Amino acid sequence: MALSPGETAEGLSPTFLELLRAEPLKELTVLDVGTGTGPLALALGPLCHAIVGVDRDARAIAEARKRAAAAGLANVRFVVGDVEVEEYAPFKPEMVVAHLCVSDAIAERAGRVLRPGGVFAFVAFHTDQWKETGRPSRFAYGEAGVRRLLRRCGFAIEHLEVEREVATFESVEQALAAAVALREQWKADGRWFRYVKFLEEGGRTLTRARLVVKARKA
């Protein structure tokens, strides 16, 4: 699907980046959980004191390290780890960020590690993301669910917004072409067949929906 207006080539929301830039990043050590190949960590590297990206996918971490070296970012490092099992204290983060990797276990760990005033900011899949495939991501939240979770973990919400984009197609072929990059992943997890059924029954949309959230430890 096409990028949203202003979205970076790696899919980072301008609103999200603006919320992060409003913090005194130059003074902060930041932890990026579920960093993948590091798009968020690499975008924040030049702006913050230090940033560590953690992901359990060793290949993604190797790629992230290569990209940091190519960009000459000495204050960005990447670690292989499970962000839903390990505690975050060893990284001494003053801010925790996540881009499309948010779960109860992650919010609980962010809540335990951050001091009062510390920011936990993330973009999460909304439960409407790809709703035409009939299966929300395990990382998806609705507005009420994310409010409950953050309150339980000791955070006050400063920003909560749903960024939603519904693409409408004129034909089944057009709708399939729009999702072609996802076909293998969706075939593996059963979503492709549900999407095809949705199209056969006359559906002609594909929804992208994300929650953009900034919360502060009370």
Ligand X SMILES: C[S@@+](CC[C@H](N)C(=O)[O-])C[C@H]1O[C@@H](n2cnc3c(N)ncnc32)[C@H](O)[C@@H]1O
- Residues near ligand X, by CB under 6 A: 34-36, 39-40, 55-57, 60, 82-84, 99-101
DSSP 126: B
Q: How far apart are CA 82 and CA 119, in angstroms?
A: 21
Question: Given the complex with ligand X, which of 67 and 216 has the nearer CB atom?
Answer: 67
**End-to-end Cα distance, the chain:** 38
* Shortest spacing between CB 200 and ligand X, in angstroms: 28
* Shortest spacing between CB 166 and ligand X, in angstroms: 21
Question: Given the complex with ligand X, which of 8 and 29 has the nearer CB atom?
Answer: 8
Question: Given the complex with ligand X, which of 163 and 169 has the nearer CB atom?
Answer: 163
* Shortest spacing between CB 173 and ligand X, in angstroms: 27
Q: Give the helix/strand (H/E) hosting 163.
A: strand 155-168
For residues 169 and 198, the answer to whether their CB atoms sit within 8 Å is: no
Question: Given the complex with ligand X, which of 55 and 132 has the nearer CB atom?
Answer: 55
* Shortest spacing between CB 39 and ligand X, in angstroms: 5
* Contacts of residue 100, Cβ cutoff 8 Å, sequence gap at least 6: 34, 123, 124, 125, 139, 210
* Shortest spacing between CB 202 and ligand X, in angstroms: 30
DSSP 100: S
Question: Given the complex with ligand X, which of 210 and 217 has the nearer CB atom?
Answer: 210
Q: Give the helix/strand (H/E) hosting 51.
A: strand 50-55
- Residue with the closest Cβ to ligand X? 36
